[in-house]
Structure formats: structure tokens, C-alpha cells
Amino acid sequence: MSRWLPSPLLSIGLLLTWLLLNESVAAAHWLLGGALAVVAPLLVRPLLPHGHARLRRPRALLRLLWLSAIEIVRSAFNVGQLILLRKPDAVNSQFIRVPLDLRSPHGLALLSCLINSTPGTVWVDLLPERHELLLHVFDLHDEAWWIDTIKTSYEGPIIEVFETAGRAPEGEKP
């Protein structure tokens, strides 16, 4: 299993992508997609310095993605409103710094994608050594609130998804 399928989720994703691309569930496409799903992760493995990502809790990931989808829609309307109604000079754009506890490279990649997909926030840089995230916020009203939101609704769940191994097990979710 682990030798030929180092990352089953990645393989399933590749197979689904192949079937979606070809818009077909014919046997030939299952075969071809299946071969691709086995071979591609093996070939790509030497290119990944941190190895394939291990999801400790896929269900927590799904919940996180759902919550961020809602957040994306909400902040898209906020940003749209600001662009249309507020005078450009009155928009309070700021850089803020968020101290991060997250260390997993895959987790950080996911965090940056979620933050950058959400309108109104752009990930600028991760200051090395101190692990502080430099973040640009379109309209800053309360810095402490932003830091708290990033840490509780994004960073917490991502740590749960990728790094549960290091923590005390909290019992499975119902």
C-alpha cells in the first residue's frame, strides 16, 4: 500500500481529475486514469522535499474548506462594498503581523492559499526565525480581532488537520 500508493488521497484526486477532464466514466478512462494515479505520485516523489502531505483528519479539512468558502463569499461582498461606497482615501489598508504556531510546510501552504483566496487579505511573507506572518489587510478596523480570527478559525483547524500526531489525542469527532 505505502510502497505503491504513497498518498492514496492524491491518487484519488488525480483519478477524479482525469475522469472530469475527459467527461467520461468509460472503462478505458478508468484504466488510464488509474495508471496515472499510481505512476504520477511515484515519479513526483523525488521532487518534493517534504514528502507527500499526510492528512490526520480529512473531515476537519472538509469543515475548514466549507467555513472558508463562506468566509470568501462574505468578504468578497465586504470588499466590493468598500470599493463602491468608500472613498479610496478612507480605506485603512495596513500591514499586520500574526505570530504563527503552525510549522508544517503543507499546513503553511494551505494557510497561504486560504488567506490569499479570501478577498481583503494577502499573505506577504513569513518572517523566518520568529515565525511571524506578514499580512496585508485591505480595511483594518481592529488588529487584535484579525490576529484572533486567523489563529482560531484558520490556524487552529489546519494544525488539527496536519499535526495532530504531536498532540494529545482528543477523541474522535462524532
Assess 97 for contact with other proteins (CB under 8 A). yes
Q: Which is nearer to other proteins, 22 or 166 (CB)?
A: 22
* Nearest distance in Å: CB 14, other proteins: 12
Separation between Cα atoms, residue 48 and residue 26, nearest integer Å: 32
b/e 134-144 (16+ beta carbons within 10 angstroms → b) = ebebbbbeeee
Q: Are 120 and 78 in contact (CB under 8 A)?
A: yes
Nearer to other proteins, 12 or 21 (CB): 21
Binding track, positions 53-72, relative to other proteins; x by CB under 8 A: -------------------x
Query: Applying CB under 8 A, does 142 fall inside the site for other proteins?
Result: no
**Residues 117, 148, 152, 167: which binds other proteins (CB under 8 A)?**
117
CB of 120 to other proteins, least distance (A): 6
Tell me which of 122, 156, 163, 164 binds other proteins, using CB under 8 A: 122
Which residue in 36, 79, 153, 164 binds other proteins (CB under 8 A)?
A: 79
44 vs 167 by CB, closer to other proteins: 44
Under rule CB under 8 A, residue 129 binds other proteins: yes
Q: Rule CB under 8 A: which residues touch other proteins?
A: 17, 20-21, 23, 72-73, 76-77, 79-80, 83-84, 88-89, 91, 93-97, 112-113, 115-120, 122-125, 127-130, 134, 136, 138, 143
